[in-house]
């Protein structure tokens, strides 16, 4: 039996999503920009998917730009707004616990003349509203704060943050990659939002950027005028159809999924916290229902992962998994290097079972017990 508990990194494609995609991977293969009957059929499929996405996040269809995923959407959104306003406002606020796609984009913008404020977070992973208010300036163009943290599942008070941002006359962007498809979203106060299909049982290689109507935005990818002139390139019809199907599926089963997954996550967490010295990373209440980030005693996370032969868990973000260093998220929350290096992220989905969780609990306890015995006998 193989047990997969790394769903914040990626999820399996839902059977319903794969079924929806198959015709566009086989006989309905036309270019959606072609004007013949086959092309118009593909175009209709793209329009349907765009409506399914808009229905999930409650926006207009012409406010959705399809991208290759969240990383592109983040780059497209942040750079698109900053370059469109270059020379007008030059200050951006973000947090120290953002995904590398945001942090690295901000570092690039610093190199071409923008000023960036990186807000700290507390031990619970939340930013301080007072710190945000103090950091805002007349020259603040954009505030970029992640909705749900990919490593800890901590949920920021997005509505409050967005309102404060707008009161300053600034724009608000949120990386909602771990939120879309999992929780109900209200985009009333959101100017831009990024997401990716493979985080909620859609295919890899497709995502999107929500840009509120009226936001001054400059395209980064030219050549053909696709996606309302904001992101040129031939439409990836099968993936777009898959994204749309995943959105509809998520919308239809979101409440049921939360109830099932949260019970499993809480049970897993309760049992593992019985291991003496184990700590929970992140705010316990303001947290996504499928995530548990735990630091274990006496062991390096990479060692533990290596000994869990048939269980997939993570020591942090999949985008930085090849870097052997403490998580920048956990360090920003005040963890020591030792605690951060001992952290495991468990991220569940609706396909996980109670039997899988029982096996995981027993295996982790076995590995840690053996490691502790090894330490005490050395």
Active centre residues (catalytic):
319
8 Å CB contact between 271 and 361:
yes
How far is it, in rounded angstroms, from Cα 260 to Cα 258?
Answer: 6
Beta bridge partners, 92, equal: 116, 142
CA dist list (Å): 329 to 28, 66, 231, 336, 360 = 44, 28, 31, 12, 25
C-alpha 281: how far from chain center: 18
8 Å CB contact between 180 and 199:
yes
Residue with tokens 């980064």, as numbered in its chain: 220
- Lookup: tokens for 265: 């996550």
How far is it, in rounded angstroms, from Cα 315 to Cα 365?
Answer: 17
Nearest 5°: CA angle at 191, between 205 and 178? 40
Contacts of 107 (CB under 8 A, 6+ apart): 116
How far is it, in rounded angstroms, from Cα 295 to Cα 109?
Answer: 34
CA dist list (Å): 145 to 79, 112, 154, 201, 229 = 15, 21, 12, 24, 26
Residue 91 DSSP SS3: strand
Pairing of strands 279-280, 291-295: antiparallel
**Closest Cα partner for 238 from 13, 15, 11, 23?**
23
- Rounded to 5 degrees, what are φ and ψ at 94? -140, -170
């Amino acid at each position: 039996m193989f047990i997969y508990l790394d769903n914040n990194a990626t999820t399996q494609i839902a059977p319903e999503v794969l079924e929806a995609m198959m015709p566009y991977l086989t006989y309905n293969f036309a270019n959606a920009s072609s004007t013949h009957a086959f092309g118009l059929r593909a175009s209709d499929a793209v329009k349907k998917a765009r409506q399914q996405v808009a229905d999930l996040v409650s926006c207009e269809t012409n406010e959705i730009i399809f991208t290759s995923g969240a990383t592109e959407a983040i780059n497209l959104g942040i750079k698109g707004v900053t370059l469109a306003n270059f020379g007008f406002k030059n200050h951006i606020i973000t947090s120290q616990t953002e995904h590398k796609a945001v942090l690295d984009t901000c570092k690039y913008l610093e190199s071409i003349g923008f000023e960036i404020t990186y807000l700290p977070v507390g031990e619970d992973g939340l930013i301080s509203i007072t710190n945000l208010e103090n950091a805002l300036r007349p020259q603040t163009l954009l505030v970029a704060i992640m909705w749900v943290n990919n490593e800890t599942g901590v949920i920021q008070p997005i509505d409050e943050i967005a309102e404060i941002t707008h009161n300053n006359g600034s724009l608000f962007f949120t990386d909602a990659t771990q939120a879309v498809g999992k929780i109900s979203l209200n985009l009333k106060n959101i100017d831009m939002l990024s997401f990716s299909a493979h985080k909620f049982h859609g295919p890899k290689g497709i995502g999107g950027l929500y840009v509120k109507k009226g936001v001054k935005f400059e395209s980064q990818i030219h050549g053909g005028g696709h996606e309302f002139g904001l992101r040129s390139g031939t439409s990836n019809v099968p993936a777009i159809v898959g994204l749309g199907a995943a959105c509809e599926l998520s919308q239809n089963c979101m409440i049921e999924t939360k109830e099932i997954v949260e019970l499993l996550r809480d049970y897993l967490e309760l049992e593992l916290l019985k291991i003496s010295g184990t700590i929970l990373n992140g705010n316990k209440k303001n947290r996504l229902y499928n995530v548990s980030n735990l630091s274990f005693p006496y062991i390096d996370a990479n060692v533990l992962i290596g000994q869990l032969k048939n269980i997939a868990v993570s020591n942090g973000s999949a985008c930085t998994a090849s870097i052997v260093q403490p998580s920048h998220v956990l360090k920003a929350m005040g963890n020591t290097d030792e605690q951060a290096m001992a952290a495991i992220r468990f991220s569940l989905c609706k396909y996980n079972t109670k039997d899988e969780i029982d096996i995981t609990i027993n295996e982790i306890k076995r590995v840690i017990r053996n490691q502790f015995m090894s330490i005490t006998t050395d």
